Structure 1
Amino acid sequence: MAGISQLLEKERVIAVVGASRNKDKYGYKVFHTLKEKSYRVYAVNPNASEIDGVRAYHSIKELPEKADLVIIVVPPHIAKKVVREAKEQGISNVWLQPGSEDEGVLALCKELSLNCIHGLCYIRDGLKTDFIL
């Protein structure tokens, strides 16, 4: 088992699904913060070609390399699709940001045997938590 800080130290490639061009949105803040901390991070947004000065991808299937962790910042009905795509791509770690989770998404993560962090916000809780995955 690993804590969030250990997970983020270990995972080399992070995808932020729901990354936003709008600097006021959490999707932008999560992506920008990870980028500023020098993580190898990819923005995923089907409606953007660039976010915060870097190329955005329409889905995790399009990424040039497999993500080790997917941070999800989209509504639950979209999060379900992202969780399925993560499993199909062989990604085992997902972090559902507040507002992305509901009982159906959590049940799907369990059904697919994904390591799922939920109930914690990257911006608010970041690496300060002792949550164990």
Structure 2
Amino acid sequence: MEAALRTFFSSPRFAVAGASSDPSKFGHKVFAWYLLHSLPATPVNPRCPSVNVLSRSHTTVPGPSALQSPSETSLSVITPPPVTLKLLKEAKEAGIPAVWLQPGSFDDEGLAYARKEFKAAIAGMEPGTDGLASVGGEGWCVLVDGERGLSIAGRKWERLKL
């Protein structure tokens, strides 16, 4: 898992599929996490042209293929399992190198596809793989394990204070 975290956080850009303006949704919380850690992130949401997060409007893109530099972007996925597989196929075709499937975002088929097709695939329900356990009881989650992942990747970050 350490290698996957290093690969994921070595990308110069990030995107959050399932980003939302609703603060109760995990897509909102994960997108805010990237912003709070001063990481360049793009919200992905085909149903709305922008999302409001941290008192600011952020323009969305409809899918991974619309990202500015997909081959330099790691993708966090917070979508329902039936949407996730289609999204992963588009991400693969666009050249996304690494994905982080948040807990509840994937089924067996989506997980198998992600593991086969990406340089790195971090999945939300695999605590303890490769000798590195997730901190949270739900498994691997950016909100819980992201800072440790940034440290493993040697990425300098500073958490913004609001």
Fold in common (TM above 0.5): yes
Superimposed CA distance per residue, residues 15-66 of structure 1 (whole angstroms, 9 cap, x where no aligned partner)? 1000011011110010011012111100001111111311011111112222
Aligned residues: 131
Aligned to 1:93: 98
Structure-1-length-normalised TM-score: 0.86
Structure 2 unaligned residues grouped into runs of 5+: 125-139, 153-162
Quick check: which one's helix share is greater?
Answer: 2
Task: Say which of 68, 79, 99 aligns to 1:74.
Answer: 79
Q: State the identity as a percent.
A: 32
Is structure 2 residue 21 aligned with structure 1 residue 16?
Answer: no
Structure-2-length-normalised TM-score: 0.72
Alpha-carbon shift at residue 4 of structure 1 (Å)? 2.5
Which of structures 1 and 2 has the bigger CA Rg?
Answer: 2
- Say if 1:109 and 1:20 are closer, same or farther in 2 by CA, change over 3 A: same
Runs of 4+ in 1 over 4 A off after TM superposition: none
Alpha-carbon shift at residue 80 of structure 1 (Å)? 0.2
Is structure 2 residue 59 aligned with structure 1 residue 55?
Answer: yes
> Please, what is the CA RMSD of the aligned residues?
2.3
Alpha-carbon shift at residue 5 of structure 1 (Å)? 6.0
Structure 1 unaligned residues grouped into runs of 5+: none
Measure the CA separation in 2 of the matches of 1:31 and 1:24: 12
Measure the CA separation in 2 of the matches of 1:33 and 1:5: 18
